[in-house]
Amino acid sequence: MKYKHLFFDLDRTLWDFDANSEEVLIDMFNKFDITTLACIDYQEFIDNYREINHALWAKYRVGEITKEFLSTQRFYATMLEFNIDNWEMGKEMGEFYVKESPYKKQLFPGTIELLESLYQKYDLHIITNGFAEVQTIKLEQSGLNKYFKQIIISEETDWKKPNPKIFNYSLQKAGASAEESIMIGDDLKADIIGASEAGIDQIWVNFDNTYAGFKPTYTVDSLKKIEELL
Ligand SMILES: [Mg+2]
């Protein structure tokens, strides 16, 4: 293998975002006593939240809304679905979520085994879209920090994946060339097509075996298979 530098995405590639997010949302549902307040069960709450959050993230990613607006609006709008019109509560829920979620530690099966094996042979780095204060705590709390040399968080740069500029910046920070690097991530657009446009090979972590109208350099459906590949 010609690779020397492996760039990893964090959320939904190594850190099990959905499992961790669900833990926080359950904590929040109980803390804010939402059953009593809105006469709904947890599943209704989370289904609505996920749909609203997904749409707002799409806007945040292209710079249409700010981080502060996203943080409050996703809970304000969720509660509004259940006729609770309370901006202040949305704000408190948003703060609770951002504060608590990075302390959750669920990783995908095989994460530590994979990194233990790879970091002896390659320089490992992270490129993640997200809030700096959140991503930094996640990496510390989940024990992932020690495996990575460079940690590039979009909020600390001027760009977000899939903008090729964040990949070029990451190469420069790692002292790597595109030819000796590979990007590993779950998001076809942000991680895979983005890296491809920066001239970097890619491993698409496609846990759900979804169809892609794009051919990544490699595709795997488990972390274990990355180890076999590299
Ligand atoms: Mg991801």
CATH number at residue 26: 1.10.150.240
Examine the fold and report which residue of 103, 123, 157 is the final residue of a domain before the chain moves on.
103
Instruction: Classify residue 18 by burial, with Cβ atoms within 10 Å: 0-12, 13-18, 19+.
Output: exposed
d(CA 230, CA 190): 22
Whether residues 136 and 206 share a domain: the answer is yes
Which of helix, strand or coil describes residue 130?
Answer: coil
What are the start-end ranges of the E strands in the chain? 5-8, 123-128, 150-153, 181-185, 201-205, 218-220
Instruction: Output DSSP code: residue 86.
Output: -
Question: What is the distance in A from the centroid of ligand 1 to the CA of 16?
Answer: 9
- Cross-strand bridge partners of residue 153: 128
Give the whole-angstrom CA distance, residue 205 versus residue 226. Answer: 9
pLDDT in tens, 74-129: 999 999 999 999 999 999 999 999 999 999 999 999 999 999 999 999 999 999 99
CA of 9 to the centre of ligand 1 (A): 6
**Residue 211: predicted pLDDT:** 87
Task: Please state the rounded mean pLDDT for residues 55-60.
Answer: 93
pLDDT confidence bin for 212, thresholds 50/70/90: confident
7 strand-pairing partners: 125, 183
Q: Based on the structure, what is the number of domains in the chain? A: 2
Q: Are residues 137 and 163 part of one domain?
A: yes
Expressed in angstroms and rounded, the spacing between residue 161 Cα and the centre of ligand 1 is: 10
Q: 103, 136, 163 — which closes off a domain?
A: 103
Q: How far is the CA of 6 from the centre of ligand 1 (A)?
A: 15
Give yes or no: residues 180 and 220 share one domain.
yes
Q: Which of 109, 106, 115, 107 is nearest to 227 (CA)?
A: 115
Do residues 67 and 95 both lie within one domain?
Answer: yes
If we measure between CA atoms, which residue out of 227, 17, 8, 229 comes closest to residue 116?
A: 227
The answer on 149 and 43 residing in a single domain is: no
Cβ atoms of residues 178 and 200 within 8 Å: yes
Find the mean pLDDT for residues 159-179.
97
Residue with structure tokens 């409050």?
Answer: 72
For 158, the domain range is 5-15+107-229
33 an active-site residue? no
Shared domain for 116 and 204, answered yes or no, is yes
Does residue 132 share a domain with residue 40? no
- Annotated catalytic residue 27: no
Statement to judge: residues 224 and 188 lie in one domain: yes
Distance CA 49, CA 165 (A): 32
Residue 133: pLDDT band with limits 50, 70, 90: confident
User: What's the chain's length in residues?
Assistant: 230
186: pLDDT strictly greater than 80: yes
Rounded distance from Cα 13 to ligand 1 centre (Å): 5
Asked whether residue 78 falls in the same domain as residue 183, the answer is: no
Q: How confident is the model at residue 213 (pLDDT cuts 50, 70, 90)?
A: confident
What is the residue-averaged pLDDT of the chain? 96
How far, in Å, from the CA of 39 to the mean position of ligand 1? Answer: 34
